[in-house]
Chains A and B, each alone.
Chain A
Amino acid sequence: MVTLTINGREVKAEKGQTILQVAREIGIDIPTLCHNEALEPYGACRLCIVEVSKGKRTKIVTSCLYPVEEGLEVKTDSPRVISNRKMILELLLARCSKNKVIQRLASQMGIEQPSFKSEYLEDNDCIVCGLCVRACEQVVGVSAISLVNRGITKEPASPFLEPAADCIGCGSCYYICPTGAIKMEDRKDTRIIYNWKVEFKLKKCKVCGNYWAPEKQLDYIKKKWNLPEDFFDICPTCK
């Protein structure tokens, strides 16, 4: 166990925990975008930054990754932290100027317009947080997509920009995306995930007749956990 202070409050924590975990446990809110408890922390969006001091040295670190230490002093909303967070959001808003989620986050920090010339504002939805790719790899386990290219053109994509051959249509990427950048649609008996150029036939429930999940996803689950062939013939609602 270690003792540290967060915003003046003394708190005991277990070794190996991150500042973000401990802060959330005691009800302190630190904004995040690329973080999800089901996944390894990534440290890409930099929104969760906090100011830490030990003795004289102060530095800015990402709370999602920084391990707690004995005697650490953490400030989650110092002026330095706030001004950094503001600029990060301005940068995101400049990239995704029409995205509602980013607009809302920026507005919460008092930003209505980014400080950059309007002719340079872009209209993306993706913030390259990597959640879709990481979920596909760490939770689903198929790694159908990855973050391709480098630098400003980095983006999640399917291999060779062709229909993602390993995708099982589970939609985890769609559900986990914080900005709605992934477009998925269930149309009658077909699911389409536009971003990875894939289409899946949905399974029809023997009882209610509803189309409820991609057959490929169900086959994957059956194979992985050795389930009987007809395991998913009846949908969960009817079971």
Chain B
Amino acid sequence: MSANTNEMPNKLCSKQDLEALQKELINGRKSDRVFISVCNGTACHPYGCAQLIETFKQEISQQDLGNKAELRITGCHGLCEKGPIVVIQPGDIFYQQVKLEDVPEILRETISKGNIIDRLLHTDPTTGSKIVHRHEIPFYRKQKRNILGNNVEINPTRIEDYIAIGGYTALAKALFEMTPEQIIEQIKRSGLRGRGGAGFPTGTKWESCRHAPGDIKYVIVNADEGDPGAYANEGLLSGNPHSVLEGLIIGAYAIGANQGYVYVRNEYPLALANITTALNQAQQLGLLGENILGSRFDLNVSITRGGGAFVCGESTALMASLEGKVGEPRAKYVHTVEKGLWDRPSDLNNVETWANVPVIINKGADWYRTLGTDSSKGTKIFSLVGKISNTGLVEVPMGITLREIIYDIGGGIRGGKKFKAVQTGGPSGGCLPEKFLDLPVDFDELTKAGSMMGSGGMIVMDETTCMVDIAKYFLTFLEEESCGKCVPCREGIKRMRQILNDITEGKGGEEDIDLLEQLSATLVDSSLCALGSTAPNPVITTIRYFRDEYEAHIKEKRCPAGVCKALISYYIIKEKCPGCGLCVKACPQDAITFIGKKKPVALDESKCIKCGACYDVCKLGAVGRK
């Protein structure tokens, strides 16, 4: 069976059927064909990867390479900064920032003749030399891409690819060689903790759900990754949806649930499309639905889109939304594993948590425990973003330090600027300064420092980031996302945001920091759900670690980072200005005028609205900001 056909294989009715199909597919992959993996992940779309893929298809046909080369359209490769990315196997050749014009040459030289095209290679930032192989690139060297690594090997819309790399073997093992109790035991032993943010031990959760009274139980995939700046779940769900599905089926079997839900964030069209395709294909092949692989276990899964509400990432709000109601959380004094969706026992886990399950079942809990720290086992996927050189999705073993992630993997701060802070945990997390760079990334360590693991956003900030502005940013975000049910969150976040607004406008007073701290204490204690109770974290950590910035804003009416509009002004650096007029054209308020040929322009501060257009457009550094 050629891997190129569009026909689905026959339905699998037993473990043996799956093994046979797998053998067949693996043989199909073993050829002297060259595989060209082109990243079609969401983050590569702005680079025009869609056209790149079309161009490859056309060129392969035109150069008559149909028998020699096979195009594999994959999900996210990780190094989003350097997209579009093309990886050529065998050889693990890594080409970055590939343009449409490069395609014919790649096929002529690399595919047909095995020649490397130097200009498309990644350059080692320290040595300056070119690197041919992906695994040698510093960005990849320190990662442990146990989960995300498979993205490069598969087309997420082809279940055959997933099976060819061993997919659904764990499911067969779980259904035919293990009891539900044994599965739960393995998950418990592995030490897997929820990857959605809170880090609750997954095995314990499954066990509680299994033992909860009731015949009808549910399993749910939380793919409502709402933290701004986090797209780790997106890269996983769109790049390898079957890995999540396989984990879900195993979990459902262990818990005793026959109905599952995947709740996908509305803003992730690609992930939604790919999980839908995956579901349909799994159903067709007998890996989902009735009598899975002939095991007599049934599981039906439906997919629901979110409606654009961050709060629906909270488990009870998500369940309310699944019930057709507004996404309002409720008290969790009775846990959702006992009374969740439709008041029935429900197990909700994050996308990444589910994807870890097949790995644990296949390789065993003991293997899994070899990675990580005492309290946090395994790996974690982060979306490394912000003022970092190598923006992208990284997967690292727990226990690696922030410094290693930011410098060794991330390539340090972009533009040669200085590191200031790193934010993890999204709006529920905290900003950690330089002194924490050697902190091992681990659930408990991050919490001790005042932040939290979160679902995977890791935002790097430099000297041009104002920490008071960051606190204001997160509160503004949460103010819009609060469901509005409880007083502390609805009213408290608004008041905190007003105070921070005043501080950034130079209207802050000495008593403001105290008031922020009092409000924080009330939100932490009395909020209905975690949105409210963790909302103060960015404020508390920025006050704790960057108090000097608050004081500069309050006492000196000055923004050290040059961000807060009311406290900055733009000016022309006369010595550097040749009067080219780019800024004059860019200014929306006509605040800058020509004086004369080759003479510096003049900026009228009274008209200036501090939009920064002149600062952005001037390539000569002739516009200053203070």
Are A91 and B483 CB-contacts (below 8 A) given A61-B333, A65-B333, A67-B334? no
> A116, B333: Cβ atoms under 8 Å?
no
Query: Shortest beta-carbon distance, B116 to chain A, in Å?
Result: 54
Query: Shortest beta-carbon distance, A85 to chain B, in Å?
Result: 8
> A87, B484: Cβ atoms under 8 Å?
no
> B498, A87: Cβ atoms under 8 Å?
no
A226 at the interface (CB under 8 A from B): no
B147 at the interface (CB under 8 A from A): no
> Which residues does chain A contribute within 8 Å of B528, judged by CB atoms?
43-44, 46
Give the interface centre of B333, B479, B519 by most chain A CB atoms within 10 Å.
B333
Query: Shortest beta-carbon distance, B581 to chain A, in Å?
Result: 42
Against B, the Cβ 8 Å flags (1 = close, 0 = not) of A143-173 are: 0000101111110000000000000000000
> A84, B526: Cβ atoms under 8 Å?
yes
B142 at the interface (CB under 8 A from A): no
Inter-chain CA distance A45–B521, complex, in Å, is 17
> A91, B485: Cβ atoms under 8 Å?
no
Q: Which residue of A lies closest to B498 (CB)?
A: A120
Query: Shortest beta-carbon distance, B177 to chain A, in Å?
Result: 40
Say what secondary structure dominates the interface of chain A. Answer: mixed
Report B439-480 residues with CB < 8 Å from chain A CB. Answer: 479-480
- 8 Å CB contact of B525 from A65, A84, A130: A84
- 8 Å CB contact of B518 from A61, A67, A87, A150: A87
> Which residues does chain B contribute within 8 Å of A152, judged by CB atoms?
479, 482, 484, 490-491, 494
Report B221-272 residues with CB < 8 Å from chain A CB. Answer: none
- 8 Å CB contact of A128 from B333, B484, B495, B498: B484
> B488, A91: Cβ atoms under 8 Å?
yes
> Which residues does chain B contribute within 8 Å of A74, judged by CB atoms?
none
Inter-chain CA distance A212–B481, complex, in Å, is 45
Inter-chain CA distance A45–B491, complex, in Å, is 11
> Which residues does chain A contribute within 8 Å of B518, judged by CB atoms?
87, 115
> Which residues does chain A contribute within 8 Å of B482, judged by CB atoms?
150-152
B573 at the interface (CB under 8 A from A): no
Inter-chain CA distance A62–B486, complex, in Å, is 11
Inter-chain CA distance A152–B532, complex, in Å, is 13
> Which residues does chain A contribute within 8 Å of B525, judged by CB atoms?
49, 60, 80, 84
> A153, B333: Cβ atoms under 8 Å?
no
Q: Count CB-based A-B contacts (< 8 Å).
A: 100
Q: Which residue of A lies closest to B482 (CB)?
A: A151
B216 at the interface (CB under 8 A from A): no
Inter-chain CA distance A140–B527, complex, in Å, is 30
A95 at the interface (CB under 8 A from B): yes
B330 at the interface (CB under 8 A from A): yes
A92 at the interface (CB under 8 A from B): yes
> A91, B487: Cβ atoms under 8 Å?
yes
> Which residues does chain B contribute within 8 Å of A88, judged by CB atoms?
487-488, 522, 526
Q: Which residue of A lies closest to B333 (CB)?
A: A66
> B487, A46: Cβ atoms under 8 Å?
yes
Q: Which residue of A lies closest to B524 (CB)?
A: A60
B620 at the interface (CB under 8 A from A): no
Report B497-528 residues with CB < 8 Å from chain A CB. Answer: 498-499, 502, 515, 518-519, 521-522, 525-528
Inter-chain CA distance A159–B462, complex, in Å, is 48
A7 at the interface (CB under 8 A from B): no
Q: Which residue of A lies closest to B483 (CB)?
A: A150
> A46, B515: Cβ atoms under 8 Å?
no
Give the interface centre of B482, B485, B515, B521 by most chain A CB atoms within 10 Å.
B485
> A153, B484: Cβ atoms under 8 Å?
yes
Are A46 and B488 CB-contacts (below 8 A) given A87-B522, A88-B526, A151-B479? yes
Are A94 and B495 CB-contacts (below 8 A) given A44-B528, A87-B518, A88-B522? yes
Inter-chain CA distance A139–B518, complex, in Å, is 39
> Which residues does chain A contribute within 8 Å of B522, judged by CB atoms?
83-84, 87-88, 91
B309 at the interface (CB under 8 A from A): yes
- 8 Å CB contact of A46 from B494, B502, B526: B526
Inter-chain CA distance A49–B528, complex, in Å, is 11
Q: Which residue of A lies closest to B491 (CB)?
A: A91
Give the interface centre of B331, B481, B515 by most chain A CB atoms within 10 Å.
B331
> A46, B521: Cβ atoms under 8 Å?
no
> B490, A92: Cβ atoms under 8 Å?
no
B538 at the interface (CB under 8 A from A): no
A202 at the interface (CB under 8 A from B): no
Inter-chain CA distance A150–B321, complex, in Å, is 14
Against A, the Cβ 8 Å flags (1 = close, 0 = not) of B75-90 are: 0000000000000000
Q: Which residue of A lies closest to B497 (CB)?
A: A152
Are A127 and B487 CB-contacts (below 8 A) given A67-B334, A84-B522? yes
Inter-chain CA distance A151–B535, complex, in Å, is 14
> A44, B333: Cβ atoms under 8 Å?
no
> B486, A150: Cβ atoms under 8 Å?
no
> A87, B519: Cβ atoms under 8 Å?
yes
Inter-chain CA distance A80–B525, complex, in Å, is 9
> Which residues does chain B contribute within 8 Å of A130, judged by CB atoms?
485
B492 at the interface (CB under 8 A from A): yes
> Which residues does chain B contribute within 8 Å of A84, judged by CB atoms?
521-522, 525-526
> Which residues does chain A contribute within 8 Å of B494, judged by CB atoms?
152
Are A45 and B487 CB-contacts (below 8 A) given A60-B526, A91-B495, A116-B498? yes
Inter-chain CA distance A116–B491, complex, in Å, is 12
Inter-chain CA distance A43–B328, complex, in Å, is 12
Inter-chain CA distance A153–B480, complex, in Å, is 9
Query: Shortest beta-carbon distance, A33 to chain B, in Å?
Result: 9
Inter-chain CA distance A28–B441, complex, in Å, is 47
Inter-chain CA distance A43–B488, complex, in Å, is 12
> Which residues does chain B contribute within 8 Å of A117, judged by CB atoms?
498, 502
Query: Shortest beta-carbon distance, A19 to chain B, in Å?
Result: 10
Query: Shortest beta-carbon distance, A116 to chain B, in Å?
Result: 6
Query: Shortest beta-carbon distance, B476 to chain A, in Å?
Result: 11
> Which residues does chain A contribute within 8 Å of B490, judged by CB atoms?
128, 151-152, 154
> Which residues does chain B contribute within 8 Å of A92, judged by CB atoms?
487, 491
> B484, A116: Cβ atoms under 8 Å?
no
Inter-chain CA distance A11–B566, complex, in Å, is 59
Query: Shortest beta-carbon distance, B625 to chain A, in Å?
Result: 29
Give the interface centre of A43, A66, A67, A87 by most chain B CB atoms within 10 Å.
A87
> B495, A116: Cβ atoms under 8 Å?
yes
> Which residues does chain A contribute within 8 Å of B486, judged by CB atoms?
43-46
> Which residues does chain B contribute within 8 Å of A87, judged by CB atoms?
488, 492, 518-519, 521-522
Taking Cβ atoms with an 8 Å cutoff, the residues of A that contact B are 43-46, 49, 60-62, 65-67, 80, 83-84, 87-88, 91-92, 94-95, 115-117, 120, 127-128, 130, 147, 149-154
Other contacts beyond A151-B481, A152-B491: 14, CB < 8 A? A46-B488, A46-B526, A46-B527, A66-B333, A88-B488, A91-B492, A94-B495, A117-B502, A149-B484, A150-B309, A151-B480, A151-B483, A151-B484, A152-B479
Q: What are 8 sample pairs from A and B whose C-beta atoms fall under 8 A apart?
A: A43-B330, A88-B526, A92-B487, A95-B491, A116-B498, A147-B326, A150-B482, A154-B490
Q: Which 6 residue pairs across A and B have the least CB separation, nearest first?
A: A154-B484, A91-B491, A87-B522, A151-B482, A151-B484, A60-B525
